[in-house]
Copies of this chain bind each other. A is one copy, B any other.
Amino acid sequence: MTHLSSTIRAEVLTIGDEILFGQITDTNTQWIGTELTNLGIRPVRKTSVGDNAADILSALHEASLRAELIIITGGLGPTKDDITKQTLCRFFDTVLELNQEALEMVSSFFIKRGREMTELNRQQAALPANCTYLANDWGTAPGMWFERDGRVFVSLPGVPFEMKNLMQQRVLPRLRAYFQTPVITHRIIRTIGIGESFLAEKIEAWEDSLPAHIRLAYLPSFGGVRLRLTGTGALAEPLLAELNAEVARVLPLINDYVYGYDDDEIETVVGRMLVEQNATLSTAESCTGGLVAHRITSVPGSSRYFEGAVVSYSNAIKTGTLGVSPSSLEQFGAVSEQVVKEMAEGARALLGTTYALATSGIAGPDGGTEEKPVGTVWIACATPHETVTRLLRLGKYRDQNVQLTTTYVLDLLRKTLRQPVFNA
């Protein structure tokens, strides 16, 4: 059965005491909300209930009165507090049956890892008799798809990477086919170094001129704002062409701040630039403690251009390994333009790379002084010709300061790489 309704309504139901009691952060429902919205399905309610059959049953019943799609996460583990499957059986008035396909998936999961399968694991392959089994590539908890009275119910594990993989591989394609959703296409412009309200002022006239079937959203995140254009239409290709034309129209207004599009991350963008220039990179990190190297190496293939890093938390390593001059440390302090410059140049020389990045700052919560409060950070990028430095004045939260410094030093590299290298 397929639906041609203009708006499919969805509810997301999360099961687990740990969410109600505030013991884990629920990142699943935000992610699901975004994916459904991208598909043209409208989330109308999110509900979380505990590991309690009566509460789950009433939430399922209420949701089925209001929405055509109900997505349920959590409560599918092998232990006693996981009661979603039994409760779904009561809701659909059916029983658990051993599912052969699910049993094979669970068995192969254990065989691959060379581990014994327990009876509890075997029970994970028992599913409500009326469901379609959705294979979980990353774990032993099943995905399940139910249809009743023109409504779809999907039950997924609560572990985020298992849930996301099941959604992307199995659920979203099925939803697209079942509900015949209109074509919805996105283009995202990724900016860095400009606040949301300043960005909004710069592009106000363009935003006001957008046609009704193209919507703009500002998605601020750590150190950057993404501009998401969402177009709705009948055909994919003309819609994408329209979106691309709008991107081309707005770009001249904000070009200085744009580092990429769609899924681009700043570390992916600089990686591509380094490969193109056949250049190499190293880092010398103090306050970022290795996060710059971690983000660079999170990109598959980064070993082509990344040579390594020195995390110089102590001054002894700044002088001993990176070759920072003890007199610079004494005269200017570890958090200074001179020291961060010598760190970048030291890493570049030690690791023999084309470019090197360096960070030195007071991440907090302690270590601030009146002259250099918490959040004072120097960053540097050494090239074959010069070393560029910048002073950041960040906030008082350690984790934020480390994350922002990492983003800004990668952006400093991006800006440096935009200038073609002159090989004398």
Contact = CB atoms under 8 A, between A and B. Distances in A.
A301 interface: yes
A2 to B, nearest CB: 24
Interface string A213-227: 001111111000000
A317 B313 contact: no
A49 B44 contact: yes
B307 A308 contact: no
Nearest to A287: B297
A17 interface: yes
A197 B120 contact: yes
A289 B289 CA distance: 11
Nearest to A62: B62
B313 A310 contact: no
B290 A200 contact: no
B300 A290 contact: no
Given A118-B197, A321-B321, A33 B22 contact: yes
Q: Is the interface of A mostly helix, strand, loop or mixed?
A: mixed
A271 interface: no
B321 A217 contact: no
B48 A20 contact: no
A38 to B, nearest CB: 9
Nearest to A188: B23
B309 A311 contact: yes
A368 interface: no
Contacts of A115: 195
Interface stretch (A144-152, A234-242, A396-404, A415-423): A396-404
B298 A402 contact: yes
B289 A78 contact: no
A120 B204 CA distance: 11
A321 B308 contact: yes
Contacts of A217: 17-18, 23, 51, 81
Given A45-B48, A303-B314, 4 more contacts: A20-B43, A51-B217, A79-B200, A290-B293
